[in-house]
Amino acid sequence: MKKRGFLIYPSTTPRENNAFEWFREAAAAYGIELEVLFYSTPAAQAPEGAPDWEPDFVIMRGYNISLSRWYESRGVKVINTTESMLLSRDKYRSAGSLALAGIPVPRTFMFHGDSVPAYPEITTSPFILKLNYGSKGENVFLIDCERGYREALEACSREKLRRIEALDRGICEFGETLEEIGYGCTPLIQEFISASSGRDIRVWVTGDEIAGHILRYNPSGFKSNFAAGGSYRRIPLPQEAASAALAAVRTSGLFFAGVDLLFDSSGGFKVCEINGNAGFRTASADIPDALFRNLVKIL
């Protein structure tokens, strides 16, 4: 029988220039009927008593933990699982779980408690300061002086206010409670992997398969994100990068993921982050095709 899935986006997603059709066509090639819905679309939530509303799976293109948990409670397969999404959004917790699994990551510290250390207590310079929850390279800073440190902390505080205001308007991408927003806005201090400055490898994984990869580079900044001014080009994927990406995705429990890999000075790789809601426009391969090719195996 034909399988049916929902692809669910935040309500704020622009309706133009999106990958809706790309996903729908890729799904159709595997006999799957895919409906694009938004958090606010009534159909994204079950009309009680309607017998055949239930999809075979749901793909979440954002962080709506209540909705995602609700589907799971109904026995619907959710890509990615709520738990794996919560873990991958949490850069501090995911770095810890990767390190525990023996996967190399930059050394990462979180400011526990309500005060942040004064600059002189931070010894290695330069270092990275980033928000625990974030994307597109926003609120990621390279710090080499006390003034830069103070400005970065101020930017983090402004971002926290912005997220609290967004929550007031019902936007739940960065947490559904003030406490969670606070946790996501906690700054992390991270070892700067200088050999990787301005470049990394983004690897997309679906299931146990490498679906695509690209070198991202930025000649005029340390951040390689496309949104932060980075460019991209094809390179062969080093075996060690492939193994690190697959191991990171397996450890996190994600089914569909983007992994950012930093080049370390010994020729190996460190996992910068695992992304459970990765974009794929810059990929050199058809990522939605790989997603559905692997998804049909587990439906």
Ligand X SMILES: Nc1ncnc2c1ncn2[C@@H]1O[C@H](COP(=O)(O)OP(=O)(O)O)[C@@H](O)[C@H]1O
Q: Which residues bind Mg ion (CB under 5 A)?
A: 260, 273
Give the bridge partners for 78, in sequence order.
58
Taking CB under 6 A as the rule, which mask of x and - marks residues 189-228 in contact with ligand X? -xxxx--x---x---------------------xxxx---
277 binds ligand X, rule: CB under 6 A: no
Residue identified by tokens 């001014």 is 229
Q: How far is the CB of 195 from ligand X (least distance, A)?
A: 9
Q: Is the CA virtual torsion 221, 224, 228, 230 positive or negative?
A: positive
**Residue 81's binding partner out of Mg ion, ligand X, none, with CB under 5 to 8 Å set by partner kind:** none
Which residue lies nearer to ligand X by CB, 97 or 196? Answer: 196
Tokens describing residue 102: 């023996």
Which residue lies nearer to ligand X by CB, 44 or 140? Answer: 140
Q: For ligand X, which stretch binds (CB under 6 A), given 6-14, 51-59, 65-73, 131-139? A: 131-139
Cβ atoms of 57 and 79 within 8 Å: the answer is: yes
Taking CB under 6 A as the rule, which mask of x and - marks residues 135-174 in contact with ligand X? xxxx-x----------------------------------
Q: b/e per residue, 135-145, with b = 16+ CB within 10 A?
A: bebebbbbbee
Give the bridge partners for 206, in sequence order.
209, 256
Q: Figure out which of the listed residues 130, 160, 163, 213 binds ligand X, where binding follows CB under 6 A.
A: 130
Helices of type H across the chain: 20-28, 65-73, 82-89, 91-100, 146-168, 178-184, 239-252, 287-295
Would you tell me which residues interact with ligand X (CB under 6 A)? 106, 128, 130, 134-138, 140, 190-193, 196, 200, 222-225, 260, 262, 272-273
